């Protein structure tokens, strides 16, 4: 990962808890996204995926804050950057797409005006030129009949079209990294596939790297080059898509995969992972997955597993895996 | 500067601004369509509002006839000039009457007073028409002071939160905890009784509620996804407020402008009743007609004309405001198409 575009090291983001304690929601996370690469950050609700994304763009909602770690974009440290400099990074270098296309567009501005705003925000562009580029973006993200949709208000567009407009807005300033936070969760399954295809195609065309945040392994399979599995604020497993999906090492990844509905065995009862993700103030001293793990050992309760490097750039945090393949 | 010169300047400014606005709006298909839609939805109310505006403007343009040697001639407006120069009687006369109400002496202008005359013999129609200017001045000028103030403070409080919010809310609570009539009267006592002073006093008491609404709405809007999305795109906070929060408040502004406008015109009537209103207002006419209601036979034309003029303006403004809100809200447009 020497060619990393985005390099996150030891990221620690916390919120205030009871009696003045800080509760980490993102706990010393390391991430790297290479140029043009699509990395999927996978995990259940509440394990810190979105907070990781917001930390990267410096928009952790108050009273949360980043306590430690470094976030480097093309070698430049983003933490501690002045507000105006950070604003230039957002949108121009790192853009974001949100989960809810329905509410992520300003209801009183036309779709076109919002794309134009995104274009003119980071570049001095004449009005006619911005409009021309916005129409080209509409075309690029597969919006049929761009001149008509350009003047349409968000409520006149379908969910899929709105998400396409959101993508056009995100791509307006030609960012190098696109953070997509559950980009297809609010969409119909058929539209989901189209949007994912679009994202993958655009990434290929423009060389934009994607940090995809999702709980849906089907989405991961369609879009991601590499996968990082997050659990309770920690990255518990990472590796290439093929390795993680075909031969998961961590029992949590295993569980996630087994709870996926599959067309191969219709009618079969889905496996589930018992219990829920523990809240940050209830993290056990040992492995955080220990309470829900089928193969937990005695050591899991006592000590948190270290990050174990595996072949092919993969890594895992699990005593059981570390035991069978010593470093 | 003399009163009528100021009035002329004011009228000229309004005509100029209106012409400028009309010229700009004509260029925009959006506004041409929306304004046309209002006229289509509420044709009568639109005409009525325009008539009131026209009468008020006519009454704003005034000049003094050159009369050498006589310095104390009053300036007369276009509206005044529509009536004969000495259009007065000695006292009450019924509408279109030929003789005085009490005593039956012959009138100077028999059968010419369409709505009769008041206790001082002034023509009631003339007074009622003259009240339009005062009413629009109260509603318009006060709204122009109160609404921008309310928006600015409400946005600041809601968006910035923290200390700013505390400060604004303290101000709101303090003002809201005083009976507004008492506050109004006290303010007018302090700053004087001219039209502008009354408007200022009304502005101080009327911005509170709207500011509260703006603050609440801003609190809601600043948490919305499109505001976060704008922030994630690197839009500056000031621009977010200007482009993404304020426009989403605009329907509130329109509705509130209309409601405040009507309410202000009505409050002036109450102030007049308390004796601190503006000269020439409908409120003052109603106040002066108070005693007349106790007379027998009853003298109703004075009160009736003022009330009808007041009622007509407020109803028409409310109807036009309603239509304006409907056509400006993208969501109601959807229901039409």
What per-residue confidence (pLDDT) applies to A3?
62
Q: CB–CB of B247 and A108 under 8 A?
A: yes
Q: Which residues of B touch A88 (CB under 8 A)?
A: 234
SS3 for chain A is CCCEEEEEEEEEEEEECHHHCEEEEEEEEEEEEECCCEEEEECCCCCCHHHHHHHHCCCCCCCCEEEEEEEEECCEECCCCCHHHHHHHHHHCEEEECCCHHHHCCCCCCHHHHHHHHHHHHCCCCHHHHHHHHHHHHHHCCCCCHHHHHCCCHHHCCHHHHHHHHHHHHHCCCCCEEEEECCCCCCCHHHHHHHHHHHHHHHHHHCCEEEEEECCHHHHHHHCCEEEEEECCEEEEEEEHHHHHHCCCCHHHHHHHHCCCCCCCCCCCCCCCCCCCCCHHHCCCCCCCHHHCCCCCHHHHHCCCCCEECHHHCEECCHHHHHHCCC
Lowest average pLDDT, out of A22-31, A241-250, B36-45, B295-304, goes to B295-304
DSSP-derived 3-state class of residue B62: strand
List the domains of chain B with CATH numbers.
Answer: 3-60+75-83+123-336 (1.10.3720.10)
Is some CB atom of chain B closer than 8 A to the CB atom of A248? Answer: no
Beta strands in chain B (DSSP E): 62-63, 76-77
Q: What is the mean pLDDT of residues A10-17?
A: 89
A87 touches chain B (CB under 8 A): yes
Instruction: Show the CA angle centred on residue A123, arms to residues A120 and A124, nearest 5°.
Output: 80
**Chain B residue with the nearest C-alpha to that of A170:** B233
Contact B123, B117 (CB under 8 A): yes
CA-to-CA separations, A219 to A112, A224, B66, in angstroms, rounded? 28, 8, 87
pLDDT at residue B107 in the model: 75
| Nearest-by-Cβ selection for A104 from B225, B236, B250 | B225
Q: What is the largest CA-CA distance in chain B?
A: 82
Contact B284, B277 (CB under 8 A): yes
* Cβ atoms A97, A167 nearer than 8 A: yes
- Read off the DSSP letter of residue B280: T
CA distance B26 to B120: 47
Contact B224 A103 (CB under 8 A): yes
Put simply, the answer to whether B229 touches A107 (Cβ < 8 Å) is no
Q: Which CATH number fits domain A4-93+175-324: 3.40.50.300, 3.40.50.720, 1.10.1040.10, 3.40.50.11310?
A: 3.40.50.300
C-alpha A74/C-alpha A86 separation (Å) is 14
pLDDT score, position A131: 92
pLDDT of residue B94: 78
Interface check B85 vs A, CB under 8 A = no
Question: Would you call A95 and B231 a contact, using CB atoms and an 8 Å cutoff?
Answer: no
Q: A148 in contact with B at a CB cutoff of 8 Å? A: no
For residue B234, give the nearest of A88, A98, A153 by CB distance: A88
pLDDT at B1: 47
Q: φ and ψ at A57, to 5 degrees?
A: -90, 5
CB A106 to CB B244 under 8 A? Answer: yes
Residue numbers of A between 180 and 239 with CB closer than 8 Å to B: none
Question: Are A241 and A227 in contact, with CB atoms under 8 Å apart?
Answer: yes
- The single residue listed with the structure tokens 């009687």 is B89
- Give the pLDDT of residue B47: 92
> Which phi and psi (to 5°) does residue A69 adopt?
105, 175
| Cβ–Cβ below 8 Å for B235 and A107 | no
3-class SS at B177?
coil
Chain A residues in contact with B228 by the CB 8 A cut-off are 59, 98, 104
Instruction: Lowest mean pLDDT of A32-41, A151-160, A288-297, name the range.
Output: A288-297
Contacts of B230 in chain A (CB under 8 A): 106
> Which of A71-75, A147-151, B240-244, B291-295 is the least confident region?
B291-295
CA distance B34 to chain A (A): 15
CA B92 to the chain's CA centroid: 30
Residue count of chain B: 337
Question: Which of B310, B326, B329, B319 shows the shortest CA–CA distance to B134?
Answer: B310
* B174 close contact with A: CB closer than 8 A: no
Rounded Cα distance, B110 and B96, in Å: 7
When pLDDT is averaged across residues A14-42 and rounded to a whole number, the result is 87
Q: Which residue in A has a C-alpha nearest to residue B250's C-alpha?
A: A108
User: Using the beta-carbon criterion (under 8 Å), do B248 and A108 form an inter-chain contact?
Assistant: yes
- Mean of all residue pLDDT scores within chain A: 85
B334 in A contact zone (CB under 8 Å)? yes
Q: What is the pLDDT along chain B (337 residues), one digit of tens a residue?
A: 467 787 788 888 888 988 888 888 777 777 788 888 888 888 999 999 999 998 888 888 887 776 655 655 677 888 888 887 777 777 777 787 777 777 777 777 777 788 888 878 788 888 888 888 888 888 888 988 999 999 999 999 999 988 999 999 999 999 989 888 888 889 988 988 888 888 899 999 888 988 998 999 999 998 888 888 888 888 888 999 998 898 888 878 887 888 888 888 888 888 888 888 888 888 888 888 877 777 777 778 888 888 899 999 999 998 988 888 888 766 665 444 4
The confidence score (pLDDT) of residue B330 equals 60
Give buried/exposed letters for B22-51 (b at 16+ CB in 10 A, else e): eeeeeeeeeeeebbebbeebbeebbebbee
pLDDT above 60: residue A152: yes
Taking the Cβ of residue B167 and every Cβ of chain A, the question of whether any pair is shorter than 8 Å is answered with: no
In tens, the pLDDT along B49-70 reads 999 998 888 888 887 776 655 6
**CA A318 to CA A57: how far, in whole Å?**
30
The SS3 assignment for B99 reads: strand
Option in B234, B250, B334 nearest A87 (CB): B234
In which band, very low, low, confident or very high, does the pLDDT at A304 lie, cut at 50, 70 and 90?
confident
Q: Do B234 and A169 touch (CB under 8 A)?
A: no
Give the closest of A59, A91, A108 to B330, CB-based: A108
Strands A209-214 and A177-181: parallel
Cα three-residue angle B57-B60-B64, rounded to 5 degrees: 140
Residue-range domain boundaries for chain A: 4-93+175-324
Chain A residue at shortest CA distance from B233 = A91
B104, B112, B118, B110: which is closest to B295 by C-alpha? B118
**Residues A311-320: what's their mean pLDDT?**
83
Burial class (CB within 10 angstroms; exposed 0-12, middle 13-18, buried 19+) of A206? middle
Q: Which of A150-159, A297-306, B219-228 has the lowest mean pLDDT?
A: A297-306
Whole-number pLDDT of residue B75: 77
Mutate to test the interface with A, among B34, B161, B226, B336 (most CBs of A within 10 A): B226
β-strands A4-16, A94-97 pairing: unpaired
Nearest residue of A to residue B331, measured between CA atoms: A155
Q: What is the pLDDT of residue B225?
A: 86
Residue in chain A nearest B246 by alpha carbon: A108
d(Cα B208, Cα B168) in Å, to the nearest integer?
Answer: 10
User: Which residue from A120, A142, A141, A140 is spatially nearest to A131, judged by alpha carbons?
Assistant: A120
Q: Residue A34 phi/psi, 5° resolution?
A: -85, 165
Asked if B129 and B281 count as a contact pair (C-beta separation under 8 A), the reply is no
Residues B226, B304 contacting (CB under 8 angstroms):
no
pLDDT at residue number B15: 86
Residues of chain B positioned with their CB less than 8 A from the CB of A170: 233
Handedness of CA A257, A167, B228, A207 (dihedral sign): positive
- State the Cα–Cα distance between residues B309 and B126, nearest whole angstrom: 12
- Which residue matches tokens 């609190």? B219
Interface test with B, best of A54, A106, A118 (most B CBs within 10 A): A106
């Amino acid at each position: 990962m020497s060619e990393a575009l985005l390099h996150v090291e030891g990221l620690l983001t916390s919120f205030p808890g009871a009696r003045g304690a800080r509760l980490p929601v993102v706990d010393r996370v390391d991430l790297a996204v290479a140029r043009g690469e699509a990395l999927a950050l996978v995990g259940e609700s509440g394990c810190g995926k979105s907070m990781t994304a917001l930390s990267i763009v410096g928009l952790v909602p108050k009273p949360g804050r980043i306590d430690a770690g470094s976030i480097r974009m093309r070698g430049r440290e983003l933490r501690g950057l002045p507000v105006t400099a950070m604003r230039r990074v957002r949108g121009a270098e790192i853009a974001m797409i949100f989960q809810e296309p329905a509410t992520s567009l300003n209801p009183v501005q036309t779709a076109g005006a919002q794309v134009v705003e995104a274009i003119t925000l980071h570049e001095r562009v004449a009005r006619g030129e911005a409009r021309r580029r916005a129409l080209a973006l509409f075309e690029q993200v597969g919006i049929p009949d761009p001149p008509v949709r350009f003047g349409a208000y968000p409520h006149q567009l379908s969910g899929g079209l709105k998400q396409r407009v959101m993508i056009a807005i995100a791509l307006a300033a030609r960012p190098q990294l696109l953070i997509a936070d559950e980009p297809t969760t609010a969409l119909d399954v058929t539209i989901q596939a189209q949007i994912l295809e679009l994202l993958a195609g655009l990434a290929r065309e423009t060389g934009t790297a994607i940090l995809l945040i999702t709980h849906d392994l089907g989405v991961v399979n369609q879009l991601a080059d590499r996968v990082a599995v997050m659990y309770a604020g920690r990255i518990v497993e990472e590796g290439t898509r093929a390795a993680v999906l075909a031969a998961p090492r961590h029992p949590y990844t295993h569980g996630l995969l087994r709870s996926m509905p599959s067309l191969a065995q219709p009618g079969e009862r889905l496996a589930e992972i018992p219990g829920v993700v523990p809240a940050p103030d209830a993290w056990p001293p040992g492995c955080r997955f220990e309470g829900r793990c089928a193969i937990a050992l005695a050591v899991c309760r006592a000590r948190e597993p270290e990050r174990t490097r595996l072949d092919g750039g993969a890594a895992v945090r699990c005593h059981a895996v570390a035991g069978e393949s010593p470093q | 500067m003399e009163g009528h010169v100021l009035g002329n300047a004011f009228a000229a400014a309004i005509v100029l601004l209106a012409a400028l606005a009309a010229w700009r709006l004509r260029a925009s298909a959006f506004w041409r369509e929306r304004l046309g839609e209002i006229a289509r939805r509420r044709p009568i109310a639109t005409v009525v509002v325009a008539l009131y505006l026209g009468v008020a403007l006519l009454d704003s343009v005034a000049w003094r006839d050159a009369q050498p040697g006589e310095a104390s001639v009053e300036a007369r407006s276009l509206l005044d000039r529509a009536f004969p120069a000495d259009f007065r009687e000695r006292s009450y006369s019924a509408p279109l009457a030929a003789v005085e109400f009490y005593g039956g002496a012959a009138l100077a202008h028999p059968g010419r007073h369409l709505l009769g005359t008041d206790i001082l013999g002034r023509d009631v129609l003339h007074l009622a028409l003259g009240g339009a200017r005062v009413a629009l001045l109260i509603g318009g000028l006060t709204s122009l002071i109160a609404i921008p103030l309310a928006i600015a403070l409400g946005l600041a409080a809601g968006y910035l939160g923290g200390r700013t919010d505390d400060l604004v809310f303290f101000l709101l609570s303090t003002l809201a905890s005083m009976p507004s009539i008492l506050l109004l009267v006290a303010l007018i006592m302090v700053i004087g009784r001219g039209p502008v002073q009354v408007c200022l006093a009304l502005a101080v008491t009327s911005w509170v509620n709207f500011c509260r609404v703006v603050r609440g709405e801003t609190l809601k809007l600043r948490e919305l996804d499109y505001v976060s999305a704008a922030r994630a795109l690197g839009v500056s906070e000031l621009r977010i407020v200007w482009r993404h929060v304020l426009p989403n408040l605009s329907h509130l502004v329109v509705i509130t402008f209309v409601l405040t406008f009507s309410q202000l015109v009505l409050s002036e009537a109450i102030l007049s009743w308390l004796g601190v209103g503006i000269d020439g207002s409908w409120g003052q006419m109603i106040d002066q007609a108070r005693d007349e209601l106790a007379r027998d036979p009853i003298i109703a034309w004075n009160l009736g004309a003022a009330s009808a003029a007041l009622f007509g303006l407020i109803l028409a403004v409310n109807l036009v405001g309603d239509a304006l809100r409907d056509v400006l809200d993208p969501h109601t447009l959807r229901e039409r198409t």
